[in-house]
Structure 1
Amino acid sequence: MLQASESGAGTAGPLAERRAKLSMAWLGVVPFLLFALLFLIGPTLYLIIGAFQNPAGEFTFANLTALFQPQILAAYWISIRISLASAGLGALIGFFVAYAIVHGGLPSWVRSSTVTFSGVASNFAGIPLAFAFLATVGRLGLVTWFLNEAFGLNIYRMGFNLLSFWGLTLTYLYFQIPLMVLIIAPALDGLKREWREASSILGATNWQYWRMIGLPVLFPSLLGCFLLLFANAFGAIATAYALTGSSLNIVPILLYAQIRGDVLYNPNLGYALAFGMIVITGCSNLLYIWLRSRAERWLK
């Protein structure tokens, strides 16, 4: 009897210790859960509820049907085009940069420096980024002045305009390319050197290796990264508003005008615009998560 009680006490000790560690682990997650509830889940639910209400607080579908107005559809289309262009170019350029630092045989300090810079640049947006591009390639920007003085090239007379579709796309690339470098580098690390060596032994060319091995393995990651970049660009508002003001009719600027404007003030329509953005970016992020889970099996 004494031995049995001692055995029970021995097993109860580690079990209680594991439960204590588990409770402490949950305690560490509480700040994140509170932050997500207050600044992500709560505001999202508030926007969704507001999208289905009129100014009197009554349930209605009028705000959602208003999204099919030609002006609003045009704003969504321009936003989608800018997001596709910046995501496509950002994914393409970022992939080659990431490949160069991962498999290009460059010194290790090049990779660490590039990754560090990418971590900073991918979060550099809003008014500072807009001012930086205006000071660089604006009409009186440093690069614009230098090209005109040194080579007689006036990029604005040649058709370039920073406050336009391609100007905003160029600005978005500043944070899209570094973000692509950060999220595609682990997938490139998953390409094992043995695969290339085996394909070379079997007589495969470099093109055949990429067509039959490299790209099929990386395709889920590449598509997932593209979707994440698309969602990242589609939801950007501070940079677009600070750079173009109301000269470019995109959804974030139209949403801002509905919620904060003096003439177009209609908060519930703004909530409906935000709801449409949530649906589009949410679908992109869900597809990214699914594709990432498929791609991670090659990293094990």
Structure 2
Amino acid sequence: MRRASTGWLGALPLLAVYAFVFGVPALALLAGAFTAQGEPTLANFRHSLQGGNLGALAGSVKLSAVVAGLGAVLGTVLAYAVVTSRAAGLRAAVLTASGVLANFGGVPLAFFWVATLGNSGIVSGLLGLPSGSLFTFWGLVTVYLYFSVPMMVLVMAPAFDGLRPQWREAAASGGATAWQYWRLVGLPVLTPALLGGVVLLFGMAFSAYATAAAMGAGTVVPLVTLKIANMLTGDVLIGQENVALALSLDMIVVAGLVMAVYLPLQRRSTRWLR
């Protein structure tokens, strides 16, 4: 009992670091979001949900939803192909590459795509693609899919492993068709992981900043992350100095809702991996 009651002391330094690194900025964000010119107010939130600020928030939600949907479909299909493939070493190679590409973003990713499919890109020049085709909504979706699809592969590959071969054999011996097996057994088992992957991809695309900023996407696709950066580094109207903090708090609320959906789905999906 004594060891159990004092065991948490070993984690105390880590908890202190987390409290300082995340707690202090969070408190500063909360304090600034609810004040304007030193006075308590809710005006910052009213401004954050009006005009161009609301358009940027809606643009980020739209982009994230499209990326999450397409990334989930493509990643699930690729994960199933890899898991069911009999090619030696294919699974290990794809999962290793997915682990690398899922964390490949920011300025290097933007430079890679601009040098490849930009106005003077190598591939766009050879294929004769329209100038500026990369710097559109669907161009940005394509760039985001570069790291979203590998992440979905990493999420769905263990989920497909959770489908026991005995279940399919039992369904076949009972006279069930392939469609009935997937509808009554496969999809219910995969649904938590699939929905959790969609939510995870949505959160990744919603919070991404460096890639879109390096591509100059703010002139084509209004994004809340770019809007916040412009407010923090540029001129703002008097009395609206803290609207960027209110927009940041709006993003935290959206991210909190995303995690509130993702964590229960993740716990449920892990039951089939035991």
Q: Under a length normalisation based on structure 1, what TM-score does the superposition of the two structures give?
A: 0.84
2:87 is the counterpart of 1:90: no
Partner of 1:214: 186
Q: Determine helix, strand or coil for the equivalent of 2:163.
A: coil
Gaps of 5+ in 2: none
Larger radius of gyration: 1
Residue identity matched to 1:297: R
Partner of 1:290: 264
Which of 248, 255, 258 lines up with 2:231 in the alignment?
258
Residue identity matched to 1:252: T
Which region of structure 1 is more displaced relative to structure 2, 239-248 or 218-227?
239-248
1:33-60 Cα offsets, whole Å, 9 max, x none, are 344323333323322222111132x211
1:258-298 Cα offsets, whole Å, 9 max, x none, are 11123569541001001111111110111000111222222
Q: Larger relative contact order (C-alpha < 8 A, sep ≥ 6)? A: 2
Residue identity matched to 1:94: G
Q: Tell me the CA shift for residue 105 of structure 1.
A: 2.8
CA distance in 2, matches of 1:242, 1:226: 25
Q: Tell me the CA shift for residue 187 of structure 1.
A: 1.5
1:61-97 Cα offsets, whole Å, 9 max, x none, are 0001112212122111111110011111111111111
CA distance in 1, matches of 2:100, 2:67: 19
CA distance in 1, matches of 2:9, 2:157: 31
Partner of 1:269: 243
Gaps of 5+ in 1: 1-14, 148-153
Change (3 A) 1:36 1:156: farther
Runs of 4+ in 1 over 6 A off after TM superposition: none
CA distance in 2, matches of 1:41, 1:190: 38
Partner of 1:43: 25
Q: Under a length normalisation based on structure 2, what TM-score does the superposition of the two structures give?
A: 0.91
Partner of 2:100: 120
Provide the alpha-carbon RMSD of the alignment.
Answer: 2.1
Q: Determine helix, strand or coil for the equivalent of 2:203.
A: helix
CA distance in 1, matches of 2:96, 2:21: 27
Contact in 1 for aligned 2:212/2:218 (Cα 8 Å): no
Partner of 2:214: 242
Q: Tell me the CA shift for residue 245 of structure 1.
A: 4.8
Contact in 1 for aligned 2:99/2:151 (Cα 8 Å): yes
Aligned residues: 272
Which of 35, 60, 65 lines up with 2:41 in the alignment?
60
Contact in 2 for aligned 1:190/1:298 (Cα 8 Å): yes
Residue identity matched to 1:214: G
1:220-270 Cα offsets, whole Å, 9 max, x none, are 111111011101100111111111253132111111111112356954100
Partner of 1:187: 159
Which of 143, 157, 180 lines up with 2:123 in the alignment?
143
CA distance in 2, matches of 1:264, 1:213: 57
Residue identity matched to 1:51: A
Which of 150, 157, 164 lines up with 2:136 in the alignment?
164
| Fraction of identical pairs, as percent | 42
CA distance in 1, matches of 2:140, 2:108: 14
CA distance in 2, matches of 1:99, 1:39: 40
Contact in 1 for aligned 2:115/2:122 (Cα 8 Å): yes
2:163 is the counterpart of 1:173: no
CA distance in 1, matches of 2:153, 2:121: 28
Partner of 1:76: 57
Partner of 1:6: none
